[in-house]
Amino acid sequence: MPQFEISDLITVTDPRSLRRAPVRRDDVLRTLAEAGNRRAARIVGTLPVDGDGVLDPAAVDRLLIGVHTELQRLSEEMRIGERVLHLLGPLLEAIRETAEPGARLRLVDIGCGLGYLVRRLAATRALGPGVELIGVDLDAALAGEAARLAQAEGLDCRFVHANAFDLPEAATVYVSTGVLHHFRGPALAEFLQAQAASSAVAFCHFDIAATPITPLGAWVFHRARMRHPLGRHDGVASARRAHSDETLLHAADIPGIRPLVYEPRGLANPFCTTLRPLLGIRPHLEEPFRRAMGRASRRLVGPERFAA
Amino acid sequence: MTPALPLAALGLIDAAFSGFRAYAGRDARIRKHRAVLRASLRGLAVGSALLLVPILTACAVLLTATDQSRAYDRLVDGGTAYLLCIAAYALAVALSLAAYFVLPFRASTLAMVIGLGPLTLLRPLVLAAGCTVALAAGGWPSLLVSATAGAAALATEQIVHRRWYSRPL
C-alpha cells in the first residue's frame, strides 16, 4: 500500500505555472480509501469544502501554516539549525577556498516551508558575510508567511513563491530539510539531476534517517509535540517514507557530482541522528571539504560503502 | 515532615513548564526569549490559581474529618507517596533538560529522543501512578486530594493554550 501524507494531497500547485489547482475532497478521500488509510480519510473528512466539494483553500492554508509552525518546534528541539551548520560551514569554507576571491554565494532552500533554516541562518549570521539566503516554496501561503516572519524580525533573507529551478539567479548551494522523501520513484533522481545540471556547486539535503526505530520515534514525537491530527499523521507517514542511504546515494550518482551521505546508518547512533544529509558536491570540492570537516569527515561516505 | 511545601514547589514549576508547552509550536519567530518567559509566567499564574483546588480540598477533608489528627496523618502519608512518585519523574525531566542544554547537538538530540519527548507523553500516566500510590498509602481522602492536584496540573496547559495560544502568533 502506498503511504500518503495528507499535506501532499490537499494542496496541489503546478510547478511550472505556480497555479494552485482546486482539490476536491472526495478525490482525496478516494485516494486515501484505495490506500486503506482510514485515519487520514477521517482527518480529511473534517476539512471544509465549498458547494462543489472543493477544499476551502484559505482553511487549508491556515491549517498548513499551523502545522508547519508546530513542525518548526521539532526542528528547534532537534537542533536542526546546528546540525545543518555543522556541514554547511565547512562546505562554504571549501567553496570559498576554490572560488574567486570576494565571490558572492547564494544559498537556496528548496521547499523552505516557513523558512526556519534560512531565517535562523540569517538571525545568527552563522555563515558569515557574502552569503545571500533565499527560501523557495511552491506553496504561496507558506512562502508568504515565511516572508512575513522574516520581515517582522528584520532578517536579511528573502522568500519566493517559485520553482527553485526557475529563479533568475543561479544558486551556489541548494539545501532542504525534510523534502527528499516527498519525491518518489524516478522523481527523486530527476530532482537531484536538475541541481546537477545547474551552475550550483553543491547540494545538501537533510531528510529523516531511515532506521527501524524511525517510525516509532516519529510517533512518540509527533504525538507529544503536534496538536493537529494532520501533523501527527504526516509526521509518522513521512518517517515511513524516508529513503534509505543506498537509495539516496544511488539517485545522486550523477556525472559531475560526488554523492555523499553524512552519518549513514551504521556510522551514527540512530537516537542521535534523526535527520541526516545527502550531499552532492562537484568533485573538486571533495578534498577541501573533507579537510574543512576535519575528523568528522570519517562519517562522510559515498556509494562505495554500499557496493557489493 | 509535611510534603505540602515540596509538592507546591513542584506544582508551580510544573505550571511554568505547562505555560511553555501551551505556547510551544505556536510562534515561528526565531528570537522569542521574551515570549517564552511570558508564556511560562502565564502558566505559573494559571497553575497557581488551579493549585488552590487541591489545597482547598485538603482543607475540606481535614475540616470534615471526625478524627482530624488521623486524617492529617493519612493525608501526609498519601502526599508523601505522591511526592516520591512525581519527584522521580521531575528528576528524570531535570536530568534530560540539563543534558539537552549542556551537551553538543548530537547528545542533546539523544536527551530529547529518549528523555524529554517520551517524558511529555508519560506525564498523565505519572500523575495517575501518583494517585494510585497516594490511595495505597493514604486512603480515599489522599486519592481525592491527589486527583484534584493531578487534574489541576493537566488543566493548566490546556487553559493557557486555549486562552492565549489557540492560533499561531
The tens digit of pLDDT for each residue in A15-62 reads 889 999 999 999 999 999 999 999 999 999 999 999 999 999 999 999
pLDDT at residue B167 greater than cutoff 90? no
Helix (H, G, I), strand (E, B) or coil at A23: coil
pLDDT at position B66 is: 92
Does residue B169 lie in a domain region? no
Determine the Cα–Cα distance for residues A244 and A239; give it in Å rounded to an integer. Answer: 11
Q: CA A140 → CA A15, A111, A175, distances in Å?
A: 12, 11, 19
Q: What is the pLDDT of residue A255?
A: 94
CA distance B163 to chain A (A): 16
| Identity of residue A257 | I
Helices then strands (H, E): number in chain A?
Answer: 12, 10
What pLDDT does residue B110 have?
Answer: 87
| DSSP 8-state code for residue B166 | S
Instruction: List pLDDT tens digits, range B12-64.
Output: 999 999 999 999 999 999 999 999 999 999 999 999 999 999 999 999 999 99
pLDDT given for residue A201 in this prediction: 96
Mean pLDDT of B139-167: 96
B111 vs A contacts (CB less than 8 Å): none
The whole-number average pLDDT for the span B118-123 is 94
Among residues A114, A143, A150, which one has the least CA distance to residue A13? A143
For residue A180, the SS3 value is: helix
Mean of all residue pLDDT scores within chain B: 95
Closest approach of chain B CAs to the CA of A247, in angstroms? 24
* Inter-chain CB pairs, A–B, below 8 Å: 73
Q: Per-domain residue ranges for chain A?
A: 6-56, 64-306
> Domain A64-306: what homologous superfamily?
Vaccinia Virus protein VP39 (3.40.50.150)
* Interface residue of A61, A62, A63, A79 to substitute, partner B, most B CBs within 10 Å: A79
Number of structural domains chain B divides into: 1
Going A173 to A174 to A178 to A180, the CA torsion angle's sign is: negative
Query: Across the interface, do A153 and B25 touch by the CB < 8 Å criterion?
Result: no
Measured between beta carbons, which residues in chain A are less than 8 angstroms from residue B39?
A: none
| ipTM score | 0.87
* 3-state SS string for B25-68: CCCCCCCCHHHHHHHHHHHHHHHHHHHHHHHHHHHHHHHHCCCH
| Residues paired with residue A258 on neighbouring β-strands, in sequence order | A281
- Cβ contact (<8 Å) for B28 and A120? no
| CB-CB under 8 Å, A72 with B25 | yes
Its domain, for residue B127, covers 4-164
Distance in Å, alpha carbon of A91 to nearest chain B alpha carbon: 19
Residue B126: CB partners within 8 Å, gap ≥ 6?
Answer: B85, B86, B89
Asked if the structure places residue B156 within a domain, the reply is yes
What's the pLDDT at A92?
96
Q: Partners of A206 in the beta sheet?
A: A177, A277
CB B31 to CB A86 under 8 A? no
Query: Does A73 contact chain B (CB < 8 Å)?
Result: yes
Residues of B whose CB is below 8 A from A276: none
Position A264 scores a pLDDT of: 87
**Per-residue confidence at A273, pLDDT binned at 50, 70, 90?**
confident
pLDDT score at B60: 96
Interface mutation target, options A155, A156, A159, A225, chain B, most CBs of B under 10 Å = A225
- Written as nine digits, the cell of A136 is 523557495
Q: Is position B38 within any domain?
A: yes
Q: What is the mean pLDDT of residues A260-272?
A: 86
pLDDT of residue A308: 63
What was the pLDDT predicted at A125?
A: 94
Query: To which H or E segment does residue A204 belong?
Result: strand A202-208
